[in-house]
Amino acid sequence: MENGQSTVLIAEDNEAIRELMGEWLRQQGHRVLAVEDGEEAIQTVLAQPIDLAIFDVMMPRRSGFSACRAVKARPETRLVPVVLVTGLENREDRVQGIECGADDFLYKPLHREELLARVRSLLKLKQFTDELENAELVICSLALSIEAKDPYTNGHCERLAKWAEALGRRLGLTEEQCVALRRAGVVHDIGKVAIPEPILLKRGPLTAEERAIMQLHPVMGERICAPLKSFRAVLPIIRHHHEKLDGSGYPDGLRGEQIPRAARILQIVDVFDALTTDRPYHAAFSRDEALAAIKQEAERGWWDAGLVTEFEGLLGDRKAPEPAQRSVLDLLNPQAAATAGGLNGAVPRLRDLEREAVIRALVSTQGDKQLAAHRLGIGRSTLYRKLKEYEGSAEGVSFPAVKEKEVLCPQPHM
Ligand SMILES: [Fe+2]
């Protein structure tokens, strides 16, 4: 809508009818675009903002049904209301029109008042959907602005949206649930807008108090998105994306199937993406390492093992983004270390790399030594020996401070 003036597209091959409709609409102050066939109609809708499209059913090159289907199939034009005009009050035409996504019908011979009434109500509807789209756009921009604060997570939301929706579709979820998963991928962490930056961007471990504040973000996110009716199916995903199957998650400590399935789907994709991208607190895991870690966490009772299997199947079908850097296990591989450090520097370099790998494994497993040892492919006693060996030697990291199950840096699952 430009300066309060609506743009109406008329696609009609009969010149007399086309001009008559155009004249009625111009008299009401609308801007009218008129074309003669279905193909031209689609090109016009794609080329400029249209508030309402009126398509004759029988047209050269492409029928009104086909043009309507094309308009409704594209995300950028699907909300343009389409009125189909047919010569017969034919039930079959009507059924076909509904299947093509038509919003309304007009029958020839046309009546001026009927046409104008239809146009008025559909333009009002378009105004509402425009406002709704704007609100969604604001919400999504806000979510992406939070992500932009942390360069390490850049692109996380977009990848999450893509994978969560793909997993939903693989599982045969409804269209509404799939769309909700896509939206949740972008906005699930929007509540972080309410978290003070020193906590949000802190690189080291969070204190218990800071962690409690950080853990408010799912509830805050739900509150921010609650007024948007189109986000109704997204709200439970936002609220419950940090629950764990064993009840140890937050904010409600839900267990098993109490956690909405869509939230369980998002969790798996979220953890996978966090593990397969480089973060300050861990190097990127390879796809296989990440899946192995997620499976272990599923065994511990955190994630839905059935959904992990489905996600593994999805990854097998599609190409996932591969991590840019070498994995933690590569760092522990003596050959890779020797290549990186050169023959002369191989021994001290290996020690440095090992130490770094141990630190990263501990951090990424939130201080769980058993899990860290497994990820490193070494025994638990070897890990303890290495910790003893490195004690006090790592700058800024105090190994004695690492205790069983201590949360060193909870960001990967925040
Ligand atoms: Fe989160």
Tell me the CA–centroid distance for residue 158 and ligand 1, in Å. 15
Range with the poorest average pLDDT among 249-253, 283-287, 378-382, 407-411? 407-411
Tell me the CA–centroid distance for residue 371 and ligand 1, in Å. 22
Q: Which of 98, 104, 191, 179 is nearest to 143 (CA)?
A: 191
Q: Which of 278, 267, 270 is nearest to 152 (CA)?
A: 278
Mean pLDDT score of the chain, rounded to an integer?
A: 78
Tell me the CA–centroid distance for residue 28 and ligand 1, in Å. 50
Range with the poorest average pLDDT among 143-152, 163-172, 264-273, 315-324? 315-324
Tell me the CA–centroid distance for residue 264 and ligand 1, in Å. 13
CA distance 367 to 406: 5
Tell me the CA–centroid distance for residue 188 and ligand 1, in Å. 6
Q: Which of 59, 81, 72, 78 is nearest to 11 (CA)?
A: 59
Tell me the CA–centroid distance for residue 330 and ligand 1, in Å. 29
Tell me the CA–centroid distance for residue 16 and ligand 1, in Å. 60
- pLDDT tens for 25-62 read 999 899 999 999 999 999 999 988 899 999 998 888 89
Q: Which of 315, 295, 316 is nearest to 306 (CA)?
A: 295
Question: At residue 237, does pLDDT exceed 80?
Answer: yes
Per-residue confidence (pLDDT) for residue 225, from 0 to 100: 86
Tell me the CA–centroid distance for residue 299 and ligand 1, in Å. 22
Question: At residue 392, does pLDDT exceed 90?
Answer: no
Question: At residue 365, does pLDDT exceed 80?
Answer: no
Per-residue confidence (pLDDT) for residue 240, from 0 to 100: 97
State the pLDDT confidence band at 204, using cuts at 50, 70 and 90.
confident
Tell me the CA–centroid distance for residue 225 and ligand 1, in Å. 15
Per-residue confidence (pLDDT) for residue 89, from 0 to 100: 64
Q: What percent of the chain has pLDDT over 90?
A: 33
What average pLDDT does range 131-141 have in this prediction?
A: 71
Residue 286 DSSP symbol? P
Q: To the nearest 5 percent, what fractions of the chain are helix, strand and coil? A: 60, 5, 35
DSSP-based three-state secondary structure for 240: helix
State the pLDDT confidence band at 171, using cuts at 50, 70 and 90.
very high
Helices (H), 156-257: 156-170, 175-187, 197-200, 208-214, 217-225, 235-240
Residues in the chain: 414
What average pLDDT does range 88-112 have in this prediction?
A: 79
At position 363, the amino acid (one-letter code) is V
Tell me the CA–centroid distance for residue 135 and ligand 1, in Å. 22
Question: At residue 362, does pLDDT exceed 80?
Answer: no
Sign, Cα dihedral of 170, 172, 173, 179:
positive
Tell me the CA–centroid distance for residue 105 and ligand 1, in Å. 46
CA distance 399 to 413: 22
Domain 7-130 CATH class label = alpha beta
Per-residue confidence (pLDDT) for residue 408, from 0 to 100: 30
Helices (H), 74-154: 91-99, 112-149
Give the domain 150-317 fold.
Answer: Hypothetical protein af1432 (1.10.3210)
Residues 6+ apart with CB under 8 A from 170: 310, 313, 314
Tell me the CA–centroid distance for residue 88 and ligand 1, in Å. 55
State the pLDDT confidence band at 173, using cuts at 50, 70 and 90.
very high
Structure tokens at 395: 């700058």
Tell me the CA–centroid distance for residue 242 and ligand 1, in Å. 6
State the pLDDT confidence band at 320, using cuts at 50, 70 and 90.
very low
Tell me the CA–centroid distance for residue 202 and ligand 1, in Å. 15
Tell me the CA–centroid distance for residue 414 and ligand 1, in Å. 5
State the pLDDT confidence band at 367, using cuts at 50, 70 and 90.
low
Question: At residue 213, does pLDDT exceed 70?
Answer: yes
Residues 6+ apart with CB under 8 A from 319: none
DSSP 267-284: HHHHHHHHHTS-BTTBPP
State the pLDDT confidence band at 391, using cuts at 50, 70 and 90.
low
- pLDDT tens for 287-310 read 888 999 999 999 999 999 999 999
Tell me the CA–centroid distance for residue 397 and ligand 1, in Å. 26
CA distance 258 to 391: 43
In sequence order, the β-bridge partners of residue 175 are none
Q: How many helices (H) and strands (E) does the chain have?
A: 19, 5
Per-residue confidence (pLDDT) for residue 402, from 0 to 100: 38
CA distance 281 to 3: 52
Burial string for 253-284 (b: 16+ CB within 10 Å, else e) reads: ebeeeebbbbbbbbbbbbbbbbbbbebebbbb
**Contact indicator for 187, 143 with CB cutoff of 8 Å:** yes
State the pLDDT confidence band at 279, using cuts at 50, 70 and 90.
low
**Radius of gyration of the chain from its Cα atoms, rounded to whole angstroms:** 28
Domain ranges in the chain are 7-130, 150-317, 328-413
Q: What are phi and psi of 363, to 5 degrees?
A: -65, -45
CA distance 292 to 290: 5
Per-residue confidence (pLDDT) for residue 246, from 0 to 100: 94
Tell me the CA–centroid distance for residue 293 and ligand 1, in Å. 19
Tell me the CA–centroid distance for residue 217 and ligand 1, in Å. 7
Sign, Cα dihedral of 160, 162, 163, 169:
positive
What average pLDDT does range 101-125 have in this prediction?
A: 85
State the pLDDT confidence band at 403, using cuts at 50, 70 and 90.
very low
DSSP-based three-state secondary structure for 248: coil
